[in-house]
Amino acid sequence: MKTAQHLDKLVALIPDGATLMIGGFFGVGVPHRLIQGLASSGRKGLVIIANDTDYPARGVGKLIEAHAVKRLVASHIGANPETQRQMLAGELEVELAPQGTLAERIRAGASGLGGILTKTGLGTVIERDKLTVKVDGETWLLEKPLRADFALINAWQADYVGNLTYQLTAQNFNPVMAMAAATVIVEAAEIVPVGTIPPDSVRTPGTLVDYLLERPS
Amino acid sequence: MTMSPKEIIARRVAKEVRPGSLVNLGIGLPTLVESYMPPGTTAFFLTENGLIGIGAPPPPGMENPDLVDAGDEYVTAVPGASSLDSTTTFSLIRGGHLDLTVLGGLQVDGRGRLANWMVPGKLVAGMGGAMDLVSGARRVIIAMIHTARGVAKIVEECTMPLTSVRPVNLVVTEMAVIEPTSEGLVLRERAPGVSVADVVGATAAKLIIPATVPEYALS
């Protein structure tokens, strides 16, 4: 069983320089309270893997604003001028990845695979410095797996085993990221008694989850 | 009745949507296409943040913060909708399960290759899902204004970074419908009141002109 933990205790687990996957898509399905705690903590040198850096004062944008990030892997940074500014100033290293490739690289990391072969990015700037592989006469781009020290996950319901459900478009990267990190920290909209979530509704099995964030007081 | 260029494009693209198909509409101009679908044409719309069956925007006060489209706008889910995580969504997109994507464009070249994700020297937004969509959708239609402040966007070679080397299937502008083929760009249709010479004059790539180039209908 997992007991819900205070925000400060969970943030204290994450050291400077850690690699984090953060779920969400433009503010939806984002673990907002965990990010706020991390942004206020003064952490430096984080490596963030996330779909986007949202808007400046929201979601992952808060970590950018706090200068907590040294390297970013994302598919979209266009809504956050501060990400652009730090990138052009050389304060932040940005690796842009096509969204589907990003998801599948995380899935490869989650699933013990050595990489994925895709057509996406072939013949474009994304191909630069990457291997191409010929299989039965057809050329594919090799994309390497991604893993993280921590995943910060937003869920709809959690129980005290750690089983998770998600709601509508708040799923996005959360289920796959919950499988690709050494330590998985979950911020759920509600924590329910064990047995409340029917087995067929569980999207992330509780064995993958390490910590639950307690309800706001 | 005068129509805006965007409405002309959206109305023409709407005719390409097959009943019962799975369709993705990009942010901006392409999202207008749904408004002009012929009555009775039902298609499922996929948004790359994970929903099949996007419905109309909700009435004020009935928004669900967990139900948005890829442009961060509140939407509803139609009866029969399904929600997906990002790996499933992009498996559908890359795996040949998405019948049609309609996207905006910065440039299309003489081989039908698209550039739509980055303007060198300007803000770097990132490609989001565009590279996967163009590489993987069964059919790719580019819906764009024919020129940018008088500068041709249909060019021999893209000067902006390519989105994919896979040629798009159709380019629809407020002036013309152009089909990339293995022989080159074929001018299939022209907008009402637009001449072949007008289209050629606004295009910087060689166009193959068939004996007849009909005007397209917008009803």
In angstroms, the separation between the Cα of residue A7 and the nearest Cα of chain B is 23
A87: nearest CA in chain B? Answer: B124
In angstroms, the separation between the Cα of residue B217 and the nearest Cα of chain A is 35
Band (pLDDT 50/70/90 cuts) for residue B154 is very high
d(CA A144, CA B20): 36
Segment 5-64 of chain A within 8 Å of chain B by CB:
25-29, 51-52
Q: Give the mutation candidate from B132, B134, B165 for the A interface (greatest A CB count, under 10 A).
A: B132
d(CA B216, CA B177): 8
Cite the DSSP H helix spans in chain A: 7-12, 32-40, 61-65, 81-88, 99-111, 174-177
Chain A positions in Cβ-Cβ contact with residue B28 (cut-off 8 Å): none
Q: What is residue B121's predicted lDDT score, i.e. its pLDDT?
A: 81
Read off the pLDDT of residues B172-203 as tens digits, 9 standing for 90 and up.
999 999 999 999 999 999 999 999 999 999 99
Q: What is residue B1's predicted lDDT score, i.e. its pLDDT?
A: 58
Band (pLDDT 50/70/90 cuts) for residue B40 is confident
Dihedral sign for Cα atoms in the order B77, B78, B79, B81: negative
User: Looking at the predicted structure, is the pLDDT value of residue A15 above 70?
Assistant: yes
Q: Where are the domains of chain B?
A: 5-208
Read off the pLDDT of residues A92-112 as tens digits, 9 standing for 90 and up.
999 999 999 999 999 999 999
Q: State the DSSP H helix or E strand holding residue A212, giving kind and residue range, or none if neither.
A: strand A211-213
Q: What is residue A81's predicted lDDT score, i.e. its pLDDT?
A: 95
Q: Which domains does chain A have, with CATH numbers?
A: 4-115+144-213 (3.40.1080.10)
User: Looking at the predicted structure, is the pLDDT value of residue B10 above 90?
Assistant: yes
User: Looking at the predicted structure, is the pLDDT value of residue A20 above 80?
Assistant: yes
Please indicate, yes or no, whether the overall pTM of this predicted structure exceeds 0.90: yes
Beta bridge partners of B140: B101
Q: What is residue A150's predicted lDDT score, i.e. its pLDDT?
A: 98
Max Cα-Cα span within chain B: 55
- Do B87 and A104 count as a contact with CB atoms less than 8 A apart? yes
Read off the pLDDT of residues A53-78 as tens digits, 9 standing for 90 and up.
999 999 999 999 999 999 999 999 99
d(CA A134, CA A162): 42
User: Looking at the predicted structure, is the pLDDT value of residue A118 above 80?
Assistant: yes
Q: What is the mean pLDDT of residues A20-34?
A: 97
- Three-state helix/strand/coil letters over chain B: CCCCHHHHHHHHHHCCCCCCCEEEECCCHHHHHHHHCCCCCCCEEEECCCEEEEECCCCCCCCCCCCECCCCCECEEEEEEEECEHHHHHHHHHCCCCCEEEECCCEECCCCCEECCCCCCCCCCCCCCHHHHHHHCCCEEEECCCEECCEECEECCCCCCCCCCCCCCEEECCCEEEEEECCEEEEEEECCCCCHHHHHHCCECCEECCCCCCECCCC
Band (pLDDT 50/70/90 cuts) for residue B91 is very high
Read off the pLDDT of residues B118-135 as tens digits, 9 standing for 90 and up.
988 888 899 999 999 999
B93: nearest CA in chain A? Answer: A100
Q: Out of B50, B135, B165, name the one closest to residue A171 (CB).
A: B50
Structure tokens at B160: 């902006």
Q: What is residue B203's predicted lDDT score, i.e. its pLDDT?
A: 98
ipTM, interface predicted TM-score of the complex: 0.96
Superfamily of domain B5-208, CATH level 4: Glutaconate Coenzyme A-transferase (3.40.1080.10)
Q: What is residue A217's predicted lDDT score, i.e. its pLDDT?
A: 73
Q: What is the mean pLDDT of residues B155-167?
A: 97
Three-state DSSP at A10 gives helix
- Do B66 and A25 count as a contact with CB atoms less than 8 A apart? no
User: Looking at the predicted structure, is the pLDDT value of residue A21 above 70?
Assistant: yes
Q: What is the mean pLDDT of residues B203-208?
A: 98
DSSP label of A207 = G
Q: Find all residues with CB under 8 Å of B199, minimum gap 6, and list them.
A: B146, B175, B176, B187, B190, B207
Band (pLDDT 50/70/90 cuts) for residue A175 is very high
B54: nearest CA in chain A? Answer: A169
In angstroms, the separation between the Cα of residue A56 and the nearest Cα of chain B is 14
What is each CA distance from A167 to A34, A192, A200, B67, B80, in whole angstroms? 19, 15, 15, 8, 16
Q: What is residue B217's predicted lDDT score, i.e. its pLDDT?
A: 86
List the one residue out of A102, A17, A157 whose CA is nearest residue B86. Answer: A102
Q: What is the mean pLDDT of residues B79-101?
A: 97
Main-chain phi, psi angles of A191, to 5 degrees: -110, 125
Chain B positions in Cβ-Cβ contact with residue A180 (cut-off 8 Å): none
User: Looking at the predicted structure, is the pLDDT value of residue B93 above 90?
Assistant: yes
Q: Which residues of B are designated catalytic?
A: 48
User: Looking at the predicted structure, is the pLDDT value of residue B214 above 70?
Assistant: yes
**8 A C-beta contact, residue A47 and residue A94:** no
Q: What is the mean pLDDT of residues A158-170?
A: 98
A155: nearest CA in chain B? Answer: B66
